[in-house]
Structure 1
């Protein structure tokens, strides 16, 4: 295992130190502890892949340390070391979950054989568990639904991009169109499917933390760095890294990401050692990156590195023929999940679904269906089961407002302008998923100006 970390727990200082030096020469990262209490503290912070554990320790004995280790979610492999040849104690250790044991004094060659054997088994277990997780996740989240011509084109591109599993991909589309589902489908259909799919939302971390989350850091790299942290990029070894909302990444982080894309190497914060990661980069954004480049908020060189192959997801309003399929799919999923009998939408509900603008796209439709299933007690989804804000919307545009108004010429100009302004702001907010900064940017005004307009039009809920 690359960069495997070993913890030696033994109160014999000379033995611990000599083993540490020898194993470090073999490429392992090695920590030592001289008591059970010190060992448990180190396991919490350094998360070793394997523990060499002596049974006779001052304070907490080895059996108690082993029992505690096995309560952790990510517990390491454990090899018991004992100088006493106590069969009963060894059997007890095996029952508590020890992976192997060796009697002191031992041959170093034999110990190394057991170490490599235990690490190989540990790796296989983790890969198996991760594969099961991926399969569950794929079945639940990566089922893309659609028979429209636009979606058939998307499916074809997913197949092609899955085969070209080394090229970077940029997924474009409005908020709620399913960019994350497409990214996971590309990964799971590729040869990288047995390796991790690491999702990183660039808006989930403050700018000051994003770099340390991506690249990790060494103990002491900064004030609060009390232990080494493995970065998210490193966790994606052999698999795919999904950078969602890449358009929101700060310029400083963009520069460091570009260096990684160019060399496939990076340094943890506080380290001078290059780490090489074989991972495919899939990025997604709902922003206009070309405009962001013109405004000097997104690096042009990074854009071209990411945009080796691009895929544009159509908004739901451009593939309304898929709405009945999506409604049926979500109804079946939520009824099964909530233990309810099968439901169908009424004719009025389906008519509303087909005429509604769906500014939040598939995500908004999914949320509406989930809410309807929760509130419905029968077998039919009726109008009253839908959100009030949806019932108040006819799906009409300002052009429809003009056409439907016979006395348009006699309307006060302030009323007409307010109606136009209201629709533009509502559309911008829905397109940005409620993100006011993004909506203000798309409208070409400041966030403060947007806030004042929301207050004046009584739209700020």
Structure 2
């Protein structure tokens, strides 16, 4: 965990020195300033979470400094240090947004308690703000980015499914397609949105631990059960439980899950008491459950209980119109997150992105873009920033009878653009200039074809 940053603003040098030593011993990163002007000037550099501010300062008094701090960042918690005779001024500081105050002389333990509470309050406020932001974003499908017809159909299905309160949903699709985002979107667009969304990866825990995580346990249920613990189904009462990789559930746990789905009740481990909860279950898997059923690895009756409504997420290679949209979305997100200027894909890199198979789907694309942003040192994203496996696959795009398209002058970007231009030109000729037919022959949408024709200046 990074150190919590604290600023002390007081003209009593001995007091500041003493406080700095004690607070740094407690793990805080402390900056000391003896007048308000220098403290205000250093706000951006120090970026404190909490400020200890004396009310009486030379030139710029504490109230003026407080106002400047609030203008800089309202989330900074300011603790005023005042003399006993400053009651009216103290009330004024609170009205102007001070978090708390302490009278001089004070007990160090009392001050430390106020500081600790201030940091906790700041952390809680940021968490609440983030959760509100996240919930608001979910109304617009959050990170489910895409305008292809297949994604528009997914959005329609989410809206319909979200209107049902209890229907169990099974989300299918390859790894990395965003199944967990769909599950969260269903929850946050439903009437259960104000309640908990709990998720668990069924492949990440051993059988005994998985069962206790789902159903909870009583004190003494097993050796390490020092006290009772609620499971996910109990914690999510009124909300949604997302079972990721449900195809990996052990057979014994499958039986208990089936019983829960049938009765909406369960028993904690070590308890004979039946607990009833109101929970919606959304499950996801990239496994072929029909094959698992045939191999007696998955219960047929559980499959039908889970598969009341199924939703299939297409792989990224079948959403070609969304590839650049996603790439630019992640570029913007990571640039903001890392504090870097905006980046733009070159035409050559865009062509590689659109033709790359993306076997890891959206997750792989996201990881590639994150790597690009980390190493980018200019506004353009050229092939030098692409991982080796993408560059190795790029020449294969030039295979086929498209004339002399070999790598010339070791310029991969120009070669790829030339290859793509030639393929489109020849296919257009074969289709008699019909762009709809050309798009069908190339396996892309007409919209994508038009964009490529414009980008590559294809003559037709």
CA shift, 1:295, in A, is 1.0
Equivalent pair of 1:142/1:184 in contact (CA under 8 Å): no
Is 1:329 aligned with 2:358?
A: no
CA shift, 1:362, in A, is 0.5
Q: Secondary structure at 1:194's aligned position in 2?
A: coil
Q: Distance in 1 between matches of 2:254 and 2:130?
A: 31
Q: Secondary structure at 2:241's aligned position in 1?
A: strand
Q: Distance in 2 between matches of 1:235 and 1:136?
A: 23
CA shift, 1:402, in A, is 10
Matching residue of 1:30: none
Matching residue of 1:135: 132
Q: Distance in 2 between matches of 1:313 and 1:319?
A: 10
Matching residue of 1:174: 174
Matching residue of 2:352: 352
Is 1:384 aligned with 2:381?
A: no
Instruction: Report matched runs for 1:397-412 at 5 Å.
Output: none
Q: Secondary structure at 1:187's aligned position in 2?
A: helix
> Structure 2: which 5+ residue stretches go unaligned?
1-109, 115-123, 403-460
Matching residue of 2:256: 256
Cα displacement string for residues 85-119 of structure 1 (whole angstroms, at most 9, x for unaligned residues)? xxxxxxxx9xx89xxxxxxxxxxxxxxxxxxxxxx
CA shift, 1:208, in A, is 2.0
Matching residue of 2:157: 157
Equivalent pair of 1:355/1:395 in contact (CA under 8 Å): no
> Structure 1: which 5+ residue stretches go unaligned?
1-92, 98-126, 405-461
Matching residue of 2:290: 290
Cα displacement string for residues 420-448 of structure 1 (whole angstroms, at most 9, x for unaligned residues)? xxxxxxxxxxxxxxxxxxxxxxxxxxxxx
Instruction: Report matched runs for 1:268-283 at 5 Å.
Output: 268-283=268-283
CA shift, 1:129, in A, is 9.6
Matching residue of 1:304: 304
Q: Distance in 2 between matches of 1:129 and 1:276?
A: 34
Q: Secondary structure at 1:283's aligned position in 2?
A: strand
Q: Secondary structure at 1:193's aligned position in 2?
A: coil
Q: Distance in 2 between matches of 1:131 and 1:282?
A: 25
Q: TM-score, structure 1 length as denominator?
A: 0.57
CA shift, 1:327, in A, is 1.2
Paired residues in the alignment total 281
CA shift, 1:401, in A, is 8.0
Q: Distance in 1 between matches of 2:153 and 2:396?
A: 29
Q: Secondary structure at 2:393's aligned position in 1?
A: coil
CA shift, 1:349, in A, is 0.6
Q: Distance in 1 between matches of 2:274 and 2:349?
A: 58
Cα gap change, 1:162 to 1:272, in 2 (>3 Å): same
Cα gap change, 1:130 to 1:158, in 2 (>3 Å): farther
Cα gap change, 1:128 to 1:297, in 2 (>3 Å): farther
**Root-mean-square deviation over aligned CA pairs:** 2.7
Q: Distance in 2 between matches of 1:286 and 1:136?
A: 30
Q: TM-score, structure 2 length as denominator?
A: 0.58
